[in-house]
Amino acid sequence: MSHVEATQAGKGLSTLWRIMVLTWRHPWMVTVTIISTIIACGLQLWVPRLIGQAIDHSEGVLDGGAGAVDALWTTAWVLLAVSIGRGVFTMWMNYFGEAVGHHTAYELRLAVYEKIQRLSFSYHDKVHTGDLITVGMLDLEGVRMFFATGVLRVVLLSILIGVGAYMLISTDLVLGLLALSFAPFVGWRSSVAQLTLRATWLTLQEMLQNLSRVMEENLGGIRVVRAFAGQNHELRKYDEASDAALALAHKRVDIRVASTSLMNLSFLLSMGLVLWVGGEKVLSGEMTVGTLASFLTFMTILQMPVRQLGLLVNSFARASTCGNRLFAFLDLEIEIKDKPGAVPLKVTEGTLRFENVDFAYPSAPTRQVLQKVSFEARRGETIGIVGRPGSGKSTIAHLIPRFYDVDGGKVTIDGQDVRDVTLASLRQSVAVVQQDSFLFTTNIENNIAYGDPWAKEQRIARASEFAQLHNYIIGLPTGYDTIVGERGVSLSGGQRQRLNIARSLMLRPSVMVFDDSTAAVDAGTEQRIRTAMKRFAKDRVTLIISHRLSSLMHADQILFIEEGAITERGTHEELLALGGRYRALYDLQVKPGDDALEAAE
């Protein structure tokens, strides 16, 4: 075995052991399950002997033997009791075995979801949503089933095959070996088939994952598909992926059918040999008919456990593979987290400061997005940030609430480095209103109060008034109880952005960042929002990031960002007088006379 293979084998064993540790968090259920399995197996192995005895007693009845009828009735009652007991303990084995798996899955499901909530933006930037769903559903399911299909099956097969084989061989060596002759072939064939099916299942799982991605993208962009008449293209794309998955599914069926046929053939051949040799022994008086019948019953009982050897191998392989992926996800290091000794943010003066900030995204560490960015904003001040797409404007917005950590320099609020305070207190004090307004499938009131679910109705209405949305909401038939569709599709783009603004205002933050958050709002509504926000902005720092100069002309200071650096700064009038890039952008966007209109407003 090579070093790589040895490492993988060690990792697989470590994963299986970790799953076992998780299952033992429910010791009484595990104990009941294992005890029930042992008893059920013992009772099942008793059945062939009782059947053999019943047949021998029946011969005695036919021969008129004294007491044969009583013995036959006694055997029949014992067989009935054993069968009932086997059924009861098998039921307990299955019930508690599934219960252990579902309790383990419950804990893992919560752990996965909690991990998703804590992972940094940089992780979500590079991982597809479908991959996370696969880990949280398919891989978790593979781990959940390990106790019932792996651990319990080891106990079950060890007793049935081990004890059953001993009982056969100890009764008659030759006949016992003939009765077990099918076991090696069936065990080998079942294992090979299951491993092959396992490999094809992983490929099929990837194909199904691709199907999920295609469907997810289609549903997410259904309006674009309809607008550009792309239905036929989308159908062809889905058909191609679906046809490939169907072809592999047919291949898996062929493998399963061929394997099952060969295993049945070997079992029937072995049973034929037992009947031939055993019949000769019965005719020669070396063996009773009941003993031969018990051999055949043993073979029938052992047939299924031997076939399950392949399922056992498959269960271990699946649990190892799924567990590796699942635990690798759960063990991911959280990049953005509270440092040891982090304290809540204390806002006094409300001053935001960037000090020589450098930053590059983890996905492209060699490309500096921000370079030596420095500025200060005090309470009551409004800072406007403008620049070309990709210049680093939105990155500034993401660094304040610490969605990412700076590579150089620092971001402070009242002199406190944002890396030294708790994330909960920081994000309670900093609200970022982004252009992409995600809404939940619930009513308008719950969407606005998402950051403070217990807020009073008056406060929710007040935030809506600031966002110029209240009048629209109360005009709806059910007002604030109106349900918005998935991602807010029942609202216009401007209404979604205003609802997003209202949701951020509910936090009463010390720093408000508007990242192109009024791009879908008409100029008149934007002006009313800006007028309403003046009173709200008196007690906090406000950053406005926009491509539209009319959104930030009123700012106390405007920063022009180019290739991650501040190239111009000043008031609107100062930048116009400078005659630089801001002036060029102004000339492109604002027609003569618009300045006067802005002043009049």
3-state secondary structure 49-118: HHHHHHHHHHHHHHCCCCCHHHHHHHHHHHHHHHHHHHHHHHHHHHHHHHHHHHHHHHHHHHHHHHHHHH
Domain identity same for 273 and 404: no
Domain identity same for 302 and 411: no
Residue 29 lies in a domain: yes
Average the pLDDT over 119-145 and give the result: 76
List helix spans (H) across 430-510: 444-448, 457-466, 470-474, 493-505
pLDDT reported for residue 422: 92
pLDDT reported for residue 597: 41
For residues 93 and 471, what is the distance between their CA atoms, to the nearest angstrom?
62
pLDDT reported for residue 245: 83
- What are φ and ψ of residue 569, in 5° steps? -150, 150
pLDDT reported for residue 532: 64
Percent of the chain with pLDDT over 90: 9
Residue 426 lies in a domain: yes
pLDDT reported for residue 417: 92
pLDDT reported for residue 60: 59
Give me the CATH number covering residue 593: 3.40.50.300
Residue 153 lies in a domain: yes
Residue 160 lies in a domain: yes
pLDDT reported for residue 549: 81
Average the pLDDT over 389-417 and give the result: 89
For residues 30 and 32, what is the distance between their CA atoms, to the nearest angstrom?
6
pLDDT reported for residue 5: 47
For residues 586 and 89, what is the distance between their CA atoms, to the nearest angstrom?
82
Among 297, 330, 363, the domain-final residue is 330
Q: Report how far Cα 27 is from the mean position of its chain's Cα atoms.
A: 27
Higher-confidence residue of 239 and 65: namely 239
Instruction: Please list the residues that pair with 513 across neighbouring strands.
Output: 432, 543
Nearest one of 475, 595, 468 to 529, comparing CA atoms: 468
Give the position of tokens 């590079």. Answer: 126
| Torsion, CA 278, CA 279, CA 283, CA 285, rounded to 10 | 20
SS3 of 443, please?
A: strand
List helix spans (H) across 221-354: 222-227, 231-283, 289-330
Domain identity same for 136 and 209: yes
Angle 3-23/68-118 helices, nearest 10 degrees?
110
pLDDT reported for residue 354: 93
The pair of structure tokens assigned to 439 is 């809404």
Say if CB 335 and CB 361 are below 8 A apart.
Answer: no
Give me the CATH number covering residue 257: 1.20.1560.10
pLDDT reading at 64 higher than 60: no
- For 382-398, the pLDDT digits (tens) are 899 998 888 888 889 88
Residue 167 lies in a domain: yes
Domain identity same for 217 and 308: yes
pLDDT reported for residue 513: 87
Ranked by mean pLDDT, which of 10-19, 240-249, 412-421, 531-540 comes out on top? Answer: 412-421
Domain identity same for 358 and 317: no
Domain identity same for 256 and 396: no
Say if CB 225 and CB 191 are below 8 A apart.
Answer: no
Domain span holding position 245: 13-330
pLDDT reading at 377 higher than 80: yes
Domain identity same for 124 and 233: yes
At a CB cut-off of 8 Å and minimum separation 6, what does 498 contact?
A: 467, 468, 469, 521, 525, 529
- For 532-584, the pLDDT digits (tens) are 667 677 778 889 888 878 778 888 899 999 888 999 899 888 888 888 888 88
- For 165-196, the pLDDT digits (tens) are 888 888 888 888 888 888 788 778 877 777 77
- For 230-254, the pLDDT digits (tens) are 778 778 877 878 888 888 888 888 8
For residues 327 and 275, what is the distance between their CA atoms, to the nearest angstrom?
52
Residue 400 lies in a domain: yes
pLDDT reported for residue 3: 46
Give the single-character DSSP code of 405: -
Say if CB 516 and CB 545 are below 8 A apart.
Answer: yes
For residues 568 and 562, what is the distance between their CA atoms, to the nearest angstrom?
9
Domain identity same for 156 and 303: yes
Total of domains in the chain: 2
Average the pLDDT over 30-41 and give the result: 90
Instruction: Please list the residues that pair with 385 across neighbouring strands.
Output: 545, 559
Q: Which H/E stretch holds residue 544? A: strand 541-545
Say if CB 490 and CB 442 are below 8 A apart.
Answer: no
10 Å CB burial of residue 561 (0-12, 13-18, 19+) is buried
Residue 478 lies in a domain: no
Residue 556 lies in a domain: yes
pLDDT bin (cut points 50, 70, 90) of residue 91 is very high
Amino acid at position 449, single letter: A
For residues 431 and 103, what is the distance between their CA atoms, to the nearest angstrom?
38
Domain identity same for 73 and 213: yes
- For 297-349, the pLDDT digits (tens) are 887 877 777 777 767 777 787 788 888 888 888 888 888 888 888 899 998 88
pLDDT reported for residue 600: 38
Domain identity same for 307 and 358: no
pLDDT bin (cut points 50, 70, 90) of residue 92 is very high
Domain identity same for 407 and 533: yes
- For 263-291, the pLDDT digits (tens) are 788 888 888 888 888 888 888 878 778 78
Average the pLDDT over 446-475 and give the result: 84
Higher-confidence residue of 136 and 554: namely 554
pLDDT reading at 592 higher than 60: no
pLDDT reported for residue 9: 52
